[in-house]
Each structure stands twice: as C-alpha cells, then as structure tokens.
C-alpha cells in the first residue's frame, strides 16, 4: 500500500521545513521531495498543515490489566491517536505488577490485540526480582519508584537501590521523590488525621526538597556505577540547578507539560484534578524548567498519563456525557484522592500552543517529544521524518485554535486538567506505520500498532 502526503510543511531532521510531499510505501517513508508523482498512491491533501514525527510518549499509566475501569489499552491508544501520539512506553504499576517475564508477555499480547499505536513496557523493581530486571525482554528499561508509592514497587532502601544500580547495564528510570521526607512531612502536617485536607497541602508535603533529595541520590548512584539513568517528570528549579552541575552523558531527564504550564495556582481552578506526583510547583519552578529544556538540561517531554475516574477524584460524573461543558462537574467530598491526570490527548497541542506563543519553536517541540525520546531509549527507526524511517507521523493544524472539550475526549477517564484551554496544533491525521489511525475527528479502530524494538 502506498500513501502520498501532499503539500504540507515537512519538518526535516535538521530542524528546517520543506514545503512538499512525502511518499509512504509498506509502512516506511520512501521519498521526501518538493513534488512527488505517483499515480498508484492514495493521496492526502495536506495543504496548510504541518507534518511532524509522531509523538513518542515515554511515560504513561494505561491501567491494564487490573484497573480497566480507569483506562485500558484500547481506549488509551485511541486517545493517543487523537493526540498525535504514535508510540508509548507504559509503567509497571498495574495488577498484577509487571515484574517478571510472564507479566510482560501478557501486556505485550494484550497490546498486540488492542493498541492502535506502537507500544513498549517497563519492568518494575520490587526489591526481589534482581535477575528479572536485566533479563526480561523486550523492555525499554527498569522502573524504580523511590517514593510516592505503596506496596511492592516502593524502593526506598539505600542498600536495595545500590544493588539495582550495581548490577546490569539496562536503563534505570526513577520516580525521584524521597519517601522518608514525605512520611515525615505527612506527620508534620497531620494530613492523615484530616477528613478533608486542603488539596494544596499536597505540594507542601511533597515539597521541592523531597524531589531534590531523591534526584541527588539517583545521580550519585549513576555516577558511582557508571549506570544509564533517566529521571522521570522532573519538577523543580533545584533539580535543574543540580543537574547543571552533575549531569553526565549517561543521564537524561524529562518534564511533563503540566509542570511547564500549570502551577500551584491551579488548585483553586480544578481542585483535586490538579493532584499528581510529583506535585505541581510554583511559577518560578515553571520558568526554571523551561530554561532547563531550552538549555538541554532536560531532554524530553512525557505526559505521565495517569487517569482516575472523576468519582475517584471527588467529582460527580456528568449526567449528560455529551454535554459540551468546560466546567468541572459538581464537586463532592475532597477526602483523600489518588494522584494523577490524563494527558496523551492534549500534550502535543499544549506544547505547540506554547511554541506559537514564543516559548519555543515547533522544531524544538518535535525534538523534545519525538527525536530525543527515540534516541534516549534506542528505539529503532522512530522520531524523524527521514527516508527508511517508519511512517509514524502526525499532520497538525497550526492555524486553528480549538478548546479542550470533555465531550470529545477519548480517554476512558473522561476528563482533562486542560478542559476549556484554547489550543492550536491539534492532530488532523495520525499515521501509524503508514496506516491512518486518526482522521477527520475519528479514530480507525481497526489499526494496530507494533511492538517497539529497543537497540541493545
């Protein structure tokens, strides 16, 4: 099958744009030129649109197996396709936990049957599965929760962390929050005794020092054992400053769109929907994170897509799920809610809107959301519009602004922290291996992504 994308602004690997055509044959990019003649190909008229590499989201929680009432691999991948996300890397905190080959194989099988986009999965460290961490296959890396976690995946003992870093050479991705300080501050604020704690306490309990302490420890272990380290959802100015001094070529770091464009001020706007780990920070932290991205201290963007139902977040579900409302539904009891928010549908539009506002360039957005991710995780044939690369692509409209509407969301959780935000850069077409996974506002449920290959 051949597909000809005609007349778009094509982002080339050198960051320049070419007004022209792209030919796709058998899922691969075979020609890029000002004008391509091919009478056999299906033609997509892309005049006025911009062609970018498909987004690779390197940190998502899609909840299957075990928590499918929040999200599943099909609904999440539909949301990905709508958002221009063509590949994802998913975390191990499902039920059962992804801590061995059996659990990994189960996820791969499920994804092969359900996912519209390409997929890869982390193996989780539980303090016992030291052999599995380095031998299960295929996996993008080892996930270590240093804090903000209960149960078997919490790894906050220094001797266990040492053992993980000291053995093997597989990438280690850390959720860097210091559990000891979190526990101490929860006691200090007596939050467990409060029936309805102020939601903004979350950012005070899991403060900047909580994040910095864990990041320092992970970086020190990486340097000590010469181990590949990735710091997930870095959130503070202090961490950026620390990495400026101590980051090595073996260390990468990411930031979420919400930590760039939202702050503690958003608790007043959306309440518990703003709760996530690590928490939202100050406007000063936002500025430092942006500068860290521009300077290359932070390497790429991830959503940390972590959906919960509105009811779990303390909100009454909408009676009319088709209502085009921009306001949260009626607030129930704040209580103690789970942390996390959905994001795969909005991440590219959020970042491209920032580019249109002058915070960065479109080329930088693509580098942070595609190219750098593929390079960091050694994902073959992804992240660039280049001959021979997989045709995982997204056509976006940078001229039209459109609000985030709850009625249009495809995530099973049914809400977004960006509801009502007026964004540009929405995906018009999403291509997965050359197949049209999303077009004209609808997903193609018959498309299936492929298992990602990680170069050893």
> What does pTM read for this prediction?
0.95
pLDDT in tens, the chain (456 residues): 799 999 999 999 999 999 999 999 999 999 999 999 999 999 999 999 999 999 999 999 999 999 999 999 999 999 999 999 999 999 999 999 999 999 999 999 999 999 999 999 999 999 999 999 999 999 999 999 999 888 899 999 999 999 999 999 999 999 999 999 999 999 999 888 877 788 899 999 999 999 999 999 999 999 999 999 999 999 999 999 999 999 999 999 999 999 999 999 999 999 999 999 999 999 999 999 999 999 999 999 999 999 999 999 988 655 444 444 444 444 444 447 899 999 999 999 999 999 999 999 999 999 999 999 999 999 999 999 999 999 999 999 999 999 999 999 999 999 999 999 999 999 999 999 999 999 999 999 999 999 999 997
Give the whole-angstrom CA distance, residue 372 versus residue 181.
32
Region of 277 (left: φ > 0; alpha: ψ -120 to 50; beta: rest) is beta
The pLDDT assigned to 316 comes to 66
Considering the candidates 21, 304, 390, 392, report the single residue annotated as catalytic. Answer: 304
CB 71 within 8 A of CB 64: yes
pLDDT digits (tens, 9 = 90+) for 290-314: 999 999 999 999 999 999 999 999 8
- 143: tokens are 């996930």
pLDDT digits (tens, 9 = 90+) for 389-408: 999 999 999 999 999 999 99
CB 36 within 8 A of CB 23: yes
The pLDDT assigned to 329 comes to 43
pLDDT digits (tens, 9 = 90+) for 112-143: 999 999 999 999 999 999 999 999 999 999 99
Give the whole-angstrom CA distance, residue 143 versus residue 121.
10
pLDDT digits (tens, 9 = 90+) for 392-449: 999 999 999 999 999 999 999 999 999 999 999 999 999 999 999 999 999 999 999 9
8 beta partners? 20
Task: Show me where the domains of the chain are located.
Answer: 54-381
CB 263 within 8 A of CB 309: no
Cβ burial of 411 (10 Å; 0-12, 13-18, 19+) is: buried
- For tokens 């093997």, the residue is 168
CB 257 within 8 A of CB 301: yes
- For tokens 């500025």, the residue is 287
Close Cβ partners of 152 (under 8 Å, ≥ 6 residues apart): 97, 99, 126, 127
304 is a catalytic site residue:
yes
Asked if the 54-381 domain carries CATH number 3.40.30.10, the reply is no
Give the whole-angstrom CA distance, residue 210 versus residue 369.
27
- Omega within 30 of 0 (cis) for the link into 278: yes
The pLDDT assigned to 317 comes to 58
Close Cβ partners of 220 (under 8 Å, ≥ 6 residues apart): none
The pLDDT assigned to 198 comes to 87
CB 101 within 8 A of CB 132: yes
Give the whole-angstrom CA distance, residue 150 versus residue 421.
34
């Amino acid at each position: 099958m051949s597909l000809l994308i005609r007349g778009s602004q094509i982002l080339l690997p050198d960051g320049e744009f070419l007004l022209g055509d792209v030919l796709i044959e058998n899922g691969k990019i075979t020609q890029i030129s000002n004008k391509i003649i091919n009478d056999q190909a299906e033609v997509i008229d892309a005049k006025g649109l911009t062609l970018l590499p498909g987004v690779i989201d390197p940190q998502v929680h899609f909840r299957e197996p075990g928590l499918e009432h929040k999200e599943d691999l099909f609904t999440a991948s539909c949301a990905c396709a709508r958002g221009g996300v063509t590949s994802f890397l998913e975390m191990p905190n499902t039920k059962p936990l992804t801590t061995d080959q059996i659990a990994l194989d189960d996820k791969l099988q499920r994804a092969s049957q359900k996912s519209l986009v390409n997929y890869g999965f982390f193996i989780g460290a539980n303090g016992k599965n030291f052999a599995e961490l380095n031998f299960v296959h295929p996996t993008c890396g080892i996930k270590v929760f240093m804090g903000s976690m209960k149960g078997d995946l919490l790894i906050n003992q220094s001797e266990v962390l040492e053992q993980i870093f000291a053995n093997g050479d597989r990438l280690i991705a850390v959720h860097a929050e210091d559990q000891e300080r979190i526990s101490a501050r929860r006691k200090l604020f007596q939050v467990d005794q409060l029936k309805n704690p102020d939601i903004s306490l979350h950012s005070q309990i899991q403060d900047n020092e909580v994040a910095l302490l864990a990041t320092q420890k992970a970086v020190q272990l990486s340097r000590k054992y010469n181990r590949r380290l990735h710091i997930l959802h870095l959130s503070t100015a202090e961490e950026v400053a620390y990495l400026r001094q101590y980051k090595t070529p073996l260390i990468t770091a990411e930031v979420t769109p919400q930590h760039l464009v939202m702050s503690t001020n958003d608790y007043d706007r959306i309440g518990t929907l703003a709760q996530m780990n690590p928490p939202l920070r100050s406007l000063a932290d936002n500025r430092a994170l942006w500068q860290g991205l521009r300077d290359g201290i932070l390497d790429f963007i991830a959503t940390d897509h972590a959906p919960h139902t509105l009811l779990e977040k303390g909100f009454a579900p909408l009676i009319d799920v088709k209502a085009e409302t921009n306001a949260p539904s009626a607030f129930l009891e704040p209580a103690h809610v789970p942390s996390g928010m959905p994001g795969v549908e909005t991440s590219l539009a959020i970042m491209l809107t920032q580019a249109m506002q002058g915070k960065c360039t479109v080329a930088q957005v693509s580098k942070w959301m595609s190219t750098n991710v593929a390079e960091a995780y050694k994902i073959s044939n992804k992240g660039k519009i280049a001959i021979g690369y997989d045709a995982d692509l997204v056509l976006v409209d940078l001229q039209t602004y459109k609000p985030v509407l709850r009625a249009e969301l495809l995530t099973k959780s049914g809400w977004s922290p960006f509801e009502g935000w007026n964004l540009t850069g929405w995906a018009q077409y999403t291509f997965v291996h050359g197949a049209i996974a999303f077009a004209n506002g609808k997903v193609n449920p018959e498309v299936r992504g492929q298992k990602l290959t990680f170069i050893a």
